């Protein structure tokens, strides 16, 4: 950060006050008109390492000046001597500090400034100074352009420039009168400058990819973190192949796993995009060989391989054979096998295809062929938790999934749980969860233990996107109830509702219209029961009745 550079005495260009507190003039000018005038009047060409001394103006004490200094770098003000700080801020022309010190109407103390908000305001002021050519202490040659820069801004956002400007190298003592030659393109330098002042990347998808590559090349880790967040949370069928190829090229395992899982789950949609045709052959082979490839039938996998081969001129001979051998011909029906010649027309040698099909159907060690299936996991959603000393219960808002099963004693397996997400509206327990189309529907429950703490809200969670959607609420709050998905509807059956220990009411949610309607009630009021759907019918078993008696009925 800029404050760390100041503490280390790096890139400082002004000493202030009786004790010569060193600082960066461009930071001070972002909060103070006094230092802005100093910056405007200073010659742009200074001997390297020279630090001019500036005396404090009348009315600014050392304590007040240091409070303004702390505000400029950290967005905070020290407690105490507010009047002295306010007078110093007025003398130094720091209106944001004056506003932070001034009491509110009625004499109540002003709330302390929000540090992050104030730091962003300072950064925006530095950007305006850069646009005006103020505070630029070096010119960089990038391609055919000579671009004035503030070394401090680049050093704070990019480790490459921090090392270049602060380590004992020739570039650190470069004469500012002449441009410093670099190997950056003008577009790369403009990108790094823009991020240094805004903390954002603007532009279409190719610009984000270029930003990620630039951030890795010049160690702009904040920019890389932003790009990787876009990669993992903004995946689409159009961007998934690019992200996977990028992650593999640069060894970003976490991003690669996220992109690969997304492509496997949405494979038919990915195949239809132009980006699919640019996938490297070895990555497509890896996808086609995965058990988690989400295809309706194996002919879809063959169609994808054929489309890629046609677009890439058939590929190398060994490449085409390896690609086509990744298709599981043994899973195809007789009708699908007959379609192979038409699907692969112009994509591969018919003789090679015949050889692969015969080999896959022969009674060798290759059989039986594994069926493709998207891996399903066990998910735990919220519920009651116990404190570590087992003395109290505490509602949870966390979702966990079973990542893997590890061997324990005998036949027992130890489950390795990993966090999946969090309820968007706080803790929830005694709720119901329904899974439809790889989406979790969370209904009702309680957020605390009171009779009036029952919830009627409904949320849909998409694990692939890590996103929650608030759906239409139920007609009444429910807890200790069962919910079942059947034929495009979700049925909420019985349960506890506010003051009622048991209710017989049933309501139905229409997924297509996002609406609830009441249905035929249960034969008797129940809570704590189980329910399931089978062959188009709903089955309800067990539970407790209004007298708190356990039922054995079905």
On whether both 73 and 173 belong to a single domain, the answer is no
Which region among 38-42, 221-225, 430-434, 440-444 has the lowest average model confidence (pLDDT)?
38-42
In this model, does residue 118 exceed pLDDT 60?
yes
Using the 3D structure, point to which of 340, 359, 378 is the last residue of a domain: 359
Which region among 58-62, 184-188, 410-414, 509-513 has the lowest average model confidence (pLDDT)?
410-414
**Count of domains observed in the chain:** 4
Domain hosting 494: range is 423-545
What CATH number is associated with residue 198?
Answer: 3.30.710.10
Of the chain, the percentage scoring pLDDT greater than 90 comes to: 31
In this model, does residue 204 exceed pLDDT 50?
yes
In this model, does residue 106 exceed pLDDT 90?
no
**Measured between alpha carbons, how far is 70 from 73 in angstroms, rounded to an integer?**
5
Using the 3D structure, point to which of 323, 342, 359 is the last residue of a domain: 359
In this model, does residue 48 exceed pLDDT 70?
no
Q: Which residue has the higher pLDDT, 76 or 496?
A: 496
On whether both 432 and 521 belong to a single domain, the answer is yes
Is 280 part of a structural domain of the chain?
no
pTM of the model: 0.62
**Measured between alpha carbons, how far is 237 from 263 in angstroms, rounded to an integer?**
7
Which region among 22-31, 143-152, 237-246, 312-321 has the lowest average model confidence (pLDDT)?
312-321
**Measured between alpha carbons, how far is 80 from 327 in angstroms, rounded to an integer?**
73
Using the 3D structure, point to which of 324, 341, 359 is the last residue of a domain: 359
* Digit-coded pLDDT (tens) for 381-405: 999 998 888 888 889 999 998 877 7
Mean per-residue pLDDT, 490-519: 93
* Digit-coded pLDDT (tens) for 307-324: 999 888 766 667 888 888
On whether both 74 and 153 belong to a single domain, the answer is no
Which region among 84-93, 97-106, 122-131, 384-393 has the lowest average model confidence (pLDDT)?
97-106
Is 281 part of a structural domain of the chain?
no
Is 339 part of a structural domain of the chain?
yes
**Measured between alpha carbons, how far is 468 from 389 in angstroms, rounded to an integer?**
33
**Measured between alpha carbons, how far is 526 from 552 in angstroms, rounded to an integer?**
12
Q: How would residue 365 be classed by pLDDT, with cut points 50, 70 and 90?
A: very low
Is 373 part of a structural domain of the chain?
no
Is 244 part of a structural domain of the chain?
no
Is 246 part of a structural domain of the chain?
no
On whether both 456 and 539 belong to a single domain, the answer is yes
Q: Are 158 and 196 in contact (CB under 8 A)?
A: yes
On whether both 53 and 146 belong to a single domain, the answer is no
Structure confidence at residue 164 (pLDDT): 85
On whether both 65 and 82 belong to a single domain, the answer is yes
Sheet holding 489-493, edge to edge: 482-486, 489-493, 506-510, 515-519
């Amino acid at each position: 950060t800029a404050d760390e550079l100041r503490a280390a005495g790096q890139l400082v260009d002004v000493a202030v006050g009786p004790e010569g507190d060193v600082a960066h003039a461009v930071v001070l000018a972002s909060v103070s008109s006094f230092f802005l005038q100093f910056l405007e009047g200073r010659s742009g060409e200074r001997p390297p390492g020279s630090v001019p001394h500036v005396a404090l103006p009348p009315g600014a004490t050392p304590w007040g000046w240091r409070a303004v200094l702390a505000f400029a770098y950290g967005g905070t003000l020290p407690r105490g001597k507010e009047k002295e700080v306010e007078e110093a801020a007025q003398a130094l022309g720091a209106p944001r500090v004056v506003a932070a010190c001034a009491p509110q109407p009625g004499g109540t103390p002003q709330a302390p400034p929000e540090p992050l908000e104030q730091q962003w305001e300072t950064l925006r002021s530095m950007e305006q100074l850069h646009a005006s050519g103020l505070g630029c202490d070096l010119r960089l040659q990038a391609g055919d352009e000579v671009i004035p820069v503030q070394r401090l801004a680049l050093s704070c956002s990019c480790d490459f420039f921090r090392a270049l400007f602060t380590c004992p190298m020739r570039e650190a003592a470069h004469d500012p009168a002449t441009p410093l030659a670099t190997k950056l393109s003008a577009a790369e330098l403009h990108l790094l400058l823009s991020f240094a002042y805004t903390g954002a990347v603007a532009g279409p998808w190719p610009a984000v990819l270029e930003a990620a590559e630039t951030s890795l090349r010049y160690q702009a880790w904040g920019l890389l973190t932003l790009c990787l967040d876009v990669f993992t949370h903004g995946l689409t069928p159009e961007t998934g192949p690019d992200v996977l190829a990028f992650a593999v090229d640069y060894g970003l395992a976490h991003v690669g796993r996220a992109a690969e899982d997304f492509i496997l789950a949405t494979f038919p949609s990915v195949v239809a995009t132009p980006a699919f045709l640019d996938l490297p052959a070895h990555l497509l082979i890896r996808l086609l060989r995965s058990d988690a490839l989400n295809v309706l039938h194996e002919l879809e996998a063959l169609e994808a391989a054929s489309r890629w081969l046609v677009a890439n001129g058939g590929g190398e001979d060994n490449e085409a054979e390896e690609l086509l051998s990744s298709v599981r011909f043994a899973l195809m029906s007789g009708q699908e096998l007959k379609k192979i010649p038409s699907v692969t027309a112009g994509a591969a040698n018919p003789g090679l295809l015949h050889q692969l099909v015969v080999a896959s159907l022969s009674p060798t060690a290759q059989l039986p062929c594994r069926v493709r299936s998207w891996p399903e996991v066990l998910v735990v959603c919220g519920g009651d938790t116990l404190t570590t000393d087992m003395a109290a219960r505490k509602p949870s808002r966390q979702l966990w999934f079973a990542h893997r099963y590890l061997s324990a004693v005998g036949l027992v397996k130890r489950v390795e749980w990993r966090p999946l997400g969090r309820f968007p509206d706080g803790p929830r327990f005694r709720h119901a969860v329904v899974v439809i189309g790889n989406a979790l529907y969370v209904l009702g429950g309680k957020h605390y233990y009171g009779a009036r703490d029952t919830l009627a809200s409904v949320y849909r969670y998409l694990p692939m996107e890590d996103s929650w959607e608030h759906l239409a609420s139920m007609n009444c709050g429910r807890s200790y109830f069962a919910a079942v998905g059947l034929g495009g509807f979700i049925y909420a059956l019985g349960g506890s509702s506010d003051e009622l220990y048991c209710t017989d009411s049933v309501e139905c949610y229409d997924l297509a219209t996002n609406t609830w309607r009441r249905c035929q009630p249960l034969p008797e009021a129940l809570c704590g029961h189980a329910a399931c759907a089978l062959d188009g019918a709903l089955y309800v078993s067990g539970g407790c009745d209004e007298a708190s008696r356990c039922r054995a009925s079905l």
